Every structure is written in structure tokens, then in C-alpha cells.
Amino acid sequence: GAVVSQHPSWVICKSGTSVKIECRSLDFQATTMFWYRQFPKQSLMLMATSNEGSKATYEQGVEKDKFLINHASLTLSTLTVTSAHPEDSSFYICSARATDRAEHEQYFGPGTRLTVT
């Protein structure tokens, strides 16, 4: 199967600090990865599309300077939440599109629970 991992699985940080979340495709290549945010009892909202070797494309209303995305290799994308505030507390989920497989399916990571105190 296709496995996507995220690290850390949960993190608690103080207001004003920055947090980095990693998303890795373990057994396939992913030129495209997606970052979602999910608030409790709500749907997944796409934050940005991360493309290997180029700048990420952010969805309307998502601050690119606050949510820094780097996709440095075909298997790793990182999301850094800068100057985190309590309202950034959420479940962050990445997905990776299997571009080296015929079905090009998106595979989701297990998510990272961020709590900002």
C-alpha cells in the first residue's frame, strides 16, 4: 500500500512560538502534497497545495507568511505554523498524491493535533 506519515502526531506549544509539522510519503513519490486543517466536528479545509521544487499555492484566506510550506524532496513536505496563537489550535492533515502510480490517488497522513496555549 501507500503510506503517509506525519510528525509529530501531537504537539502543545506556547502562544507566539513556531511549530513545524512534517509529512512524508514512505513508499512512493509525491510531487504534490496537500495540507488541510480540520477543526472539531468540521470538514477538512484545504490550506495549500505543495509542489516539489516550487512555491506552494495557498487557498484564499490562508496567510502564506503564517503557514510556511516547504516541499524540498519527492517524499517530504513541511508546514511551519509561525507565531502560533490559540486560534491556530486544530488538527492538521496532509495528503500526498502518488504521481508514480497509475491511479494518482491521494493518501492521507494520520494528522497532527496542535494545541496552542
Partner 1 sequence: GENVEQHPSTLSVQEGDSAVIKCTYSDSASNYFPWYKQELGKRPQLIIDIRSNVGEKKDQRIAVTLNKTAKHFSLHITETQPEDSAVYFCAASLLPEYGNKLVFGAGTILRVKS
List the grid coordinates of 53.
521544487
E strands, the chain, in order: 4-7, 10-13, 19-25, 32-38, 45-51, 57-58, 67-73, 76-81, 90-97, 106-108, 112-116
Task: Restricting to residues 1-60, name those near partner 1 by CB under 8 A.
Answer: 32, 34, 42-46, 49
Which residues, including other chains, have CB under 8 Å from residue 42's CB and lie 6 or more apart?
none
In angstroms, what is the minimal distance from the CB of 116 to partner 1? 18
C-alpha to C-alpha distance for 34 and 105, rounded to whole angstroms? 12
Q: Is 97 an interacting residue with respect to partner 1 (CB under 8 A)? A: yes
How many other C-beta atoms lie within 10 A of the C-beta of residue 70?
Answer: 15
- Point out which span in 12-20, 67-75, 77-85, 102-110 binds partner 1 (CB under 8 A): 102-110
Q: Say if residues 78 and 22 touch (Cβ distance below 8 Å).
A: yes
Stretch of 22-30, 64-72, 77-85, 106-114 contacting partner 1, by CB under 8 A: 106-114
User: Measured from the CB of residue 110, what is the shortest distance to partner 1 in angstroms?
Assistant: 5
Shorter beta-carbon distance to partner 1: residue 33 or 116: 33
**Which of 85, 110, 115, 117 contacts partner 1 by CB under 8 A?**
110
Residues that bind partner 1 (CB under 8 A): 32, 34, 42-46, 49, 91, 93, 97, 103-106, 108-111, 113
